[in-house]
Amino acid sequence: MGTFGSRRGAADKLTLPLMILAFVAVGGFLYWLNITAQPTEINMEEGPVETESGADVSVPLVDFLGDPAMYAGQVVEVTHARVASRLGSQAFWIGPDATPFLVKMAPALVEAGTEVMLESTVTVVGTVGTLDNAMLEEWDAAGAFPSEGDRIVAEFAVGSPFIEATAIITPAAAGGEGDGSGN
């Protein structure tokens, strides 16, 4: 059998030129893409979008809690709102336990006997306002606070935004009948 000489030297001689050729090819391709690429224009619709609930804007709770004051005077639909605690039979707090947000049910909801369950996830539709002492007195006169303790808790929200809910939508139970749009 014959012996073949080492081919190592041939491979070493081609490594550097092949590497340079690869860089030049990739650089050329990127240059070609840069020259031939066409700019794309994206049209984004600005402003609030009317929702099925009649709200000016629909926003998840997390985004709403970022700056609720910016929605002052607007009818909002706050989705994925966890009921943190109740405040009597006419109001409740939504959001995380560390920073809850006050929701007061409108008289029509109270008359209809609407109740929310603790830890349930709801969609709240209503107008964002700022709670003041005069409103607190009106709520107290309307029987919103069954105990003095509830009123004291509500006083912590004076000067802060709140929602006066005109609709509270709870999701239908799994396997249950209905469309889940009960008030």
Tens digit of each residue's pLDDT (9 = 90 or more) over 127-164: 999 989 898 888 888 888 888 888 888 888 888 899 99
Average pLDDT in the 76-83 region?
Answer: 91
Indicate the average pLDDT of the chain: 82
Tokens of 37: 């690429």
Distance (Å, whole) CA 134 – CA 47: 33
The angle at the Cα of 76, spanning 172 to 51, to the nearest 5 degrees, equals 65
* Domains of the chain as residue ranges with CATH: 57-169 (2.40.50.140)
Q: Reply yes or no on whether the pLDDT at 93 is more than 50.
A: yes
**HEC string for 17-62:** HHHHHHHHHHHHHHHHHHHHCCCCCCCCCCCCCCCCCCCCEEEEHH
Percent residues over pLDDT 70 in the chain = 81
Q: Reply yes or no on whether the pLDDT at 23 is more than 60.
A: yes
Q: Which of 20-29, 74-83, 84-93, 172-181 has the lowest mean pLDDT?
A: 172-181
pLDDT of residue 48: 45
Percent residues over pLDDT 90 in the chain = 27
pLDDT of residue 9: 61
